[in-house]
Every structure is written in structure tokens, then in C-alpha cells.
Amino acid sequence: MTFLSRSICLVVLAGVLPCLAATRAAAAPEGTLVIAMHFTPVTRWLDPAEGESTITPYLLLYALHDALLKPMPGAGSAPSLAESWSMAKDMLSADFTLRPARFHNGDPVTADDVKFSFERYRGAAAGIYRARVAAVEVVDPHRVRFRLKHPWPDFMTFYGTPATGAGWVVPRRYVERVGDEGFRRAPVGAGPYRFVSYKPGLELVLEAHEQFWRKTPSVKHLVIKSVPDEATRLAMLKRGEADIATLFRGPLAEEIRRTPSLTLKPTYLPVTQWLVFADQWDAKSPWADRRVRLAANLAIDRQSINQAETLGLSKLTASIIPQSFEFYWPAPLYPYDPARVKQLLAEAGYPGGFEAGAIAVDLSFTSMGEAVVNYLRAAGIRTTLRPLERAAFFKEYGDKRLRPIVLGASAAFGNAATRLEAFVASGGAYTYGTYPDIEGLLRDQAMETDAKRRETMLHRVQQLMHDKAMFAPLIEPAILYGVGPRMAEPALGLITNMAGSAPYEDLKLKGQ
């Protein structure tokens, strides 16, 4: 190298090194971002082993933990802790190769942690995994193999998306040292943020995990506050006490849209809301009569509810299966028909209507529940509303203690089969009862490897559900968020069908 060449290199390096240092400094996480949630986080949602057939726990898991595969921007199931994976052609095994990654306590993520996390899992579809997975084998510290008892076309749908939490990985050594309760009180994960503190009913504080494999988060601290009251969430946004606030409806959503410093952001999830007639298998209940269930469907003006609740941004539906799901069958919409309702109730022996008991509802959806109650009461189906805080609602729902009617919902990922598994199939996490013809088809499709034949079976199941008026589907709601003026990137809608801000490592405040 000549003197001139060396001089040029020195000059270039002299300019580059300060730039690199500045880049590193700018990349360091900084600032605090506050998210006002519409529900109260509970400690069981900090542990992937407790995964439910709803999207709610994943609003926290995406921050604290990581999975082998999970939905990410541009991909419905993206390599995460697994840098690659493959499914055998005979659908009897699946292999995963792990990327170098570490938990928040510095321990490396290993195949043994994957095996431990799966075998520890006890959430939604845990019984299905036990029935269909023969073994989980540690091939070496960075490779793990799942062997299946029979071909299972939906294995990756169940395992590689938030249809269940079985694919999320926790550190074996730490869990065994502190126990399950200790882990829930102070979870250690491999996600973009680590646990700092939790004040029950108030807030969860998280700090950036700077060694997160995908990227260093831009924001240093996340504070997730529990603010069940919608008007309070809006006031926090206006005062700058929250940067992102979840779930607005009607007049308050319109107020955000009219406020120059705020942004109304609609997101679309694989979510449906519907009424569950939990007593339809009790011959003594009015709900055992299909005519009564059909009357309830025809008594509800869904389009008016859509306009009042979500400014007309939601989708009407006659199915509990999201329209974006594979194997969805487009059930014909129920018209709003009060005259037909009156006729059906008279034919069923209730010309003056009847006392229908309470509708249990997640507190967050009280206004939706009130609208449904008003329409049913106007038709002679006299019911009341029983709002429950979200964690209690899903606990009682899963324990089958909510009767006679439940206003249910789910935004869990998957396909028609996974949604039916949780809410319709015998033994499902939220199944109150089913019918032999439906159960037989669900059992057969789970083993069918031909996609077209599976589609035919799953379409038939949905047709039967509609014919029986098994549920009263309502809408696929648009979830409306409020975003404050400090946000450069709220990470809302970056992942297709994902609720909330995700990936959390993509959040940015202005000036970062």
C-alpha cells in the first residue's frame, strides 16, 4: 500500500469511526412509552404455558417472550427463535434449527428449553398436543424434532401461530429454580423487553433487552397501564399521559378523529363476536328450540350496532370463523326481521316472550352487550347483562360456568379448524356442547391430508352450525386505537391480523 493509499484510508477512517460511534449511540434505547390498555393484565398471561384461545395474552407475550415461529411483518408464521424448520412429506415429523439467542438472564436458548416448554404447556389445545405428538427429541443443543403419532396437517398452524402458546420458549433452568408461581411473578423470556415490575391492577413495567436477536428496541422503557374506563384512556391521550391507547368506540372514537394532535388507527384482527347459547343442550331450556335461537339471530340489527360501535368500520358476519381464515365458509347473513322474530317465538310457545337470564360479557365489550340486550328485550327475549373483567371472564368461560348466554369473542390466529377446535369440538377450551354430526366431521377432518377434502368437511361443519342456529354471530369488529403526538411508529397493523403494537421492538418515538 502506498503512502497516498494509507493516507486516504486514514482520512476515511477518521470520518467513519465518529459516524459509527454516533450510530451506536443513536441506536441505544431511550425514552419511556406508555400504553393504556382496556383490560387488566394478570400474571398468568406473563407465562406462555397458560396460553388461551384468544389474542389477549399475546399482547404481553410479544414483548416478554419469543417463539420458534410467530407472525411477523410480511409473514403469517416467520422464523424467530428457529432460524429454519421443515415438515416431513408424510407429516409425521417436524425439525427446527435454533438461531443463537439468549434469555434475559443470559442463558442461551437451547433445544432442551424448547422440549421443556412444550411439555410444560397446559393452555389451549394442550389435550390435542398430548393426543397427537408422540415425542419431542433433542437432536443436539440447536436442533429439536417433533414426532407425531399420525399425520397432522394443522401441526404448524397450531404450533407456529398464536392459535396456541405451545411454541413459545421459556428457560428451563430458571423455571425449575423458581417454580411456576415464581416464574409468573418475575418472568424471564427471550423477547425484546425484559420484566421490571408489576403492580396488580395498575401497571406492568418493561425494559429493552438490548441483546434481542432481531434488533435492539428503540424505546428504553415500556409502561403498560391498566385503564378499563374508555373516557379515562382518552383523557390520558389528550394530556400526554399515554402515547397509545386501546379500544375506542362510537362518540369517543369520533372525538379522537376530530382532535388534531391525535390519530385514530383502526386495526383488523381475526376476531369475531358472537352469542353462545350455552343451555341449548338442556331440553328444559327455551334455547333447546332452534326457533328460539333463530329468533335471537333475527332480532339483532347488526349494521346499526356496527355504526354505533365502530363508526361503520366493522364487517358483518353470520359465522364465528373470520372471513380471512383458510376453510372459511360464507354463511348467509341474518336480516334484521322483528316480524319474523315474533312469529318464531309464538311457534315455539312463547307468544309473550320469556325471561332469558343473563348475558355474560367481557367488561371491555359492555356497550356491545348493552346493544344486544336492548334488541333482544325489544323482541320479547328479556335478558340482562353481566359484565366481568377480562381475566375473570375467560376463566369462568373456560370453566363452563357462564350460563345461559355468553357474548364470546376470539382473535386467536389459525384457520377454521383451530377456531372450531376451541369453541365447537367436544372437549374444546370453550365448548359447552356439540352435536354428533358436527363432532364426527371434526374428528375426520383432523386426520385428512387432502386439502380439498378437508375443506369440504369444514365447510359442511359450518353449514350445520348455521342450519342449527348454534350461535348468534354478530360482527368482525374493527379495533380502534388512539395514537398520541409523540409517536413516530406505533407498530399497529405491522403484523397482519395482530392486535396491539407488535413487534414491540419496532416502536419509535419521534426524534429516534
Per-residue pLDDT for 11 more than 90?
Answer: no
Per-residue pLDDT for 24 more than 50?
Answer: no
Q: Residue 134, SS3?
A: strand
pTM of the model: 0.83
Mean pLDDT, rounded, for 124-147: 95
Per-residue pLDDT for 287 more than 60?
Answer: yes
Q: What is the model's pLDDT at position 167?
A: 96
Fold of 191-268+479-509: D-Maltodextrin-Binding Protein; domain 2 (3.40.190)
Q: What number of helices (H) and strands (E) belong to the chain?
A: 16, 24
Q: What is the model's pLDDT at position 359?
A: 98
Q: What is the model's pLDDT at position 411?
A: 87
Digit-coded pLDDT (tens) for 450-493: 999 999 999 999 999 999 999 999 999 999 999 999 999 999 99
Digit-coded pLDDT (tens) for 419-428: 999 999 999 9
Q: What is the location of CATH 3.10.105.10 in the chain?
A: 272-476
DSSP string, 266-317: EE--S-EEEEEETTTT-TTSGGGSHHHHHHHHHT--HHHHHHHHHTT-SEE-
Q: What is the location of CATH 3.90.76.10 in the chain?
A: 66-176
Q: In the structure, what pLDDT confidence band is assigned to residue 58 with cuts at 50, 70 and 90?
A: very high
Per-residue pLDDT for 21 more than 80?
Answer: no
Task: Map grid coordinates 411508529 to a residue.
Answer: 489
Digit-coded pLDDT (tens) for 327-367: 999 999 999 999 999 999 999 999 999 999 999 999 989 99
Q: Is 272-476 in CATH node 3.10.105.10?
A: yes
Digit-coded pLDDT (tens) for 184-237: 999 999 999 999 999 998 999 999 999 999 999 999 999 999 999 999 999 999
Q: In the structure, what pLDDT confidence band is assigned to residue 6 with cuts at 50, 70 and 90?
A: very low
Fold of 66-176: Dipeptide-binding Protein; domain 1 (3.90.76)
Question: CA-CA distance, 370 to 407, in Å (whole number)?
Answer: 11
Q: What is the model's pLDDT at position 26?
A: 47
Q: What is the location of CATH 3.40.190.10 in the chain?
A: 191-268+479-509
